Homo-oligomer: A and B are copies of this chain.
Amino acid sequence: MIFPDVQSTAVKSFKLTRVGIKGLRKPVTIRRPGREVVLYPEIDLFVDLPSHLKGSHMSRNAEILCEIVDSSIRNPYTGLEHLCADISKMLLERHEYATVAEIDMTADYFLERASPSGNKSLEIFKLIAGAVARRDDATTRTIGVEVTGMTACPCAMETTRILLSNEHAGKDFSNFPTISHNQRNISSLIIEFEGECDIEADDLIDIVEGSLSSPSHEVLKREDEGLVVMRAHKNPKFVEDVVRDILSEVLRGYPGLPDDTIVTVRSESEESIHKHNAFAERVTSMGELRKT
């Protein structure tokens, strides 16, 4: 039986910027330093569509994904972003009408961490990866991470210092951390670059986690819990501080990144004193950062 290729019907219409599939889940094995990890990323894949074709052949997107992931089992990629780059190039090959192909992935990811007193646990993070291939231009890759931790507010701490001093006349509240609101914070760092720069997601996680008031932990016995609270309150941070400290570390840690590398940093605190969140963001390039 021959079935009509409805997608290839000639039309005279508008071109489309992105056509493809969203929310596909697929097991992927990645070679991390010293080990192989299985990830179950959520994946989006798109190409553009010219004005003269009715539809994009979307099943090719899932097919290509299967082929490359299957063939990578014996020789795993060292990072999701490299897997993404190869898939985006193959998307351009198979969608002969497309001029640009894009893939985006996010995946849960676990790393061992120690509490202040040294208890080890596996903490959950999120990996972000992607690639954009252009027919007559370089392929860009995206590598990023999302980290959940803790922020304590530096402003409320100074206010309570005064309120406490006022309540307890004659007592000195000046040289230790006083009470403040603190909360769960979700921060992310995403880097988009051309070419082959080697950035390790584990390093990005270190940068983001180290820029919070404190990491959070799966298991905290009594003293550890107190030490985490102490650490956070000795290190109070606005979301603005978190974003800037991440930017600082990126500037310091990646002198080799070209000026046109795009850097996106976000920090969102699920404020305990509000029902809404506090948010800060910087979208910039390495070149712009260096001019600061």
Could you tell me which A residues sit within 8 Å of B by CB distance? 1-7, 13-27, 38, 40, 44, 46, 49, 51, 54-56, 58-59, 62-63, 66, 108, 110, 121-124, 148, 150, 153-156, 158-160, 162-164, 166-168, 171, 175-184, 214, 216-223, 225-230, 232-233, 238-241, 243-244, 247-248, 268, 270-284, 289, 292
Contact of A22 among B55, B230, B248, B276 (CB under 8 A): B276
Residues in B neighbouring A216, C-beta threshold 8 A: 271-275
Complex CA gap A289/B279 in Å reads 35
- Given the known A-B contacts A1-B163, A19-B281, are A123 and B275 also in contact in the complex, defined by CB atoms under 8 Å? yes
* Dominant SS among interface residues on chain A: mixed
Residues in B neighbouring A20, C-beta threshold 8 A: 278-279
Contact of A270 among B154, B270, B273 (CB under 8 A): B270
A88 to chain B, nearest CB (A): 16
Complex CA gap A169/B220 in Å reads 26
- Contact in complex: B229, A273 (CB < 8 Å): yes
- Contact in complex: B175, A280 (CB < 8 Å): no
Complex CA gap A202/B226 in Å reads 37
- Contact in complex: A21, B222 (CB < 8 Å): no
- Contact in complex: A179, B230 (CB < 8 Å): yes
- Given the known A-B contacts A56-B240, A184-B272, are A14 and B228 also in contact in the complex, defined by CB atoms under 8 Å? no
Residues in B neighbouring A56, C-beta threshold 8 A: 240, 280
20 pairs from A and B in contact (CB 8 Å cutoff): A1-B162, A1-B166, A13-B248, A13-B292, A14-B244, A17-B283, A17-B284, A18-B280, A19-B240, A21-B274, A22-B279, A24-B218, A59-B221, A62-B218, A124-B275, A164-B176, A183-B184, A184-B275, A214-B273, A216-B272
Contact of A16 among B1, B232, B243 (CB under 8 A): B243
Q: Which of A3, A180, A270 has the most CB of B within 10 A?
A: A3
